[in-house]
Amino acid sequence: AHSYVKYNDWANIEAWVSSISSGNPALISRSSLGKTYEGRNMHLLKIGKNTGSTKPAIFMDCGIHAREWISPAFCQWFVQEAVTTYGSDAQMTSLLDTLDIFVLPVFNVDGYEYSWKSERMWRKTRSRNSGSSCIGTDPNRNFDAGWCTVGASSNPCSDTYCGPSVESEIESQNVANFIRKNKSIIKAYLTIHSYSQLLLFPYSYKYGQAKDHAELTSVAASASEALRSLYGTRYTSGPGATTIYLAAGGSDDWAYDLGVKYSFTFELRDTGRYGFLLPESQIKPTCEETMLAVKYIAAHVQKNL
Ligand code: 0X9
Ligand code: ZN
Ligand code: ZN
């Protein structure tokens, strides 16, 4: 059965998508971005008060990388927190009255399922590679942002394989197509990973500063401070290239260069003690503290509409 304080497999997440949507028809509508390589549905939830007209929006995805289980757990937590605090929490209410938040609970569904059923440390998609017996592409090296120039591999057996071409993965295509189509309303792009306790913004494919560097630096620092205020968890924030490493083809850089100014990558808990195997006892505190950072960013977006 589904639980917010446990890691949920894909069957439980799909059941949750249905129940949370049907249980909150005034705030949630569901759709699909399309199918994955293996034919699973990329369920998308839109959370927001229906105003009868098109609202500006924030797009957030979780589970680009299969083994980062805390990430989908956060997307589920976020949706639940949004619907249960709407009407009582002034900030959440105002947010959902003004903005729609698109949540993709699991981006790399095939990989996620594989990490449950076969190989816990799987990262990539599950697509076949011609001329190789190695499986999968790193979806976060597959976007059109300096594609495969740096910090990515052209070897299909590598965990950071960039794929045979830009957006070769159907999952990347589905996400990129949706964001391109809704480019005029999407004001922020948030992508949730683990681990390392970082809040990153463009660029990662080059050392050059983003034109919004000053604003992004200050938003990321304040969001990290908000996160830390709950349990003292320390985050480092900064451009990807100088904060972790140069790595091209990421969704954050791609969204930013498309024109989505507020583009952030979260690397959730921890800093390596458990790494990807973060104990379930940390799901609740991790999600609660991350809510504060996401809400800070969302409030900043709202203020700057
Ligand atoms: O390397 C990544 O894709 C991310 N780290 S992870 O350990 N979750 O794999 C960081 C992504 C930062 N952004 C870009 N490289 N564009
Ligand atoms: Zn990741
Ligand atoms: Zn809460």
- Tens digits of residue pLDDT in 20-34: 999 999 999 999 999
ipTM surpasses cut 0.95: yes
Strand intervals (E) in the chain: 28-35, 41-47, 57-62, 100-104, 186-194, 198-201, 236-239, 262-268
Tell me the backbone φ, ψ of residue 231, rounded to 5 degrees.
-130, 10
pLDDT at 227: 98
- For all residues of the chain together, what is the average pLDDT? 98
179 within domain boundaries: yes
Q: Which of 171, 267, 280, 289 is catalytic?
A: 267
The number of distinct structural domains making up the chain is 1
| 265 Cβ closer than 6 Å to some ligand 1 atom | yes
User: CATH number, domain at 18?
Assistant: 3.40.630.10
The number of the ligand 1 atom at minimal distance from the alpha carbon of 193 is 8
The number of the ligand 1 atom at minimal distance from the alpha carbon of 145 is 16
2 within domain boundaries: no
Asked if 289 is an active-site residue, the reply is no
pLDDT at 23: 98
What is the mean pLDDT of the segment spanning 180-194? 98
Q: Is the pTM of this model over 0.95?
A: yes
Pairing outcome for strands 100-104 and 57-62 = parallel
Ligand nearest to the CA of 108: 2
pLDDT at 269: 98
Q: Which domain holds residue 214?
A: 10-303
What is the mean pLDDT of the segment spanning 264-282? 98
Would residue 26 be called left, alpha or beta, if left means φ above 0 and alpha means ψ between -120 and 50 degrees?
Answer: alpha
291 within domain boundaries: yes
301 CA to centre of ligand 1 in angstroms: 23
| 204 Cβ closer than 6 Å to some ligand 1 atom | yes
81 CA to centre of ligand 3 in angstroms: 6
Share of the chain above pLDDT 90, in %: 100
| 140 Cβ closer than 6 Å to some ligand 1 atom | yes
1 within domain boundaries: no
23 within domain boundaries: yes
What is the mean pLDDT of the segment spanning 101-114? 99
pLDDT at 121: 99
51 within domain boundaries: yes
5 within domain boundaries: no
Ligand nearest to the CA of 107: 2
166 within domain boundaries: yes
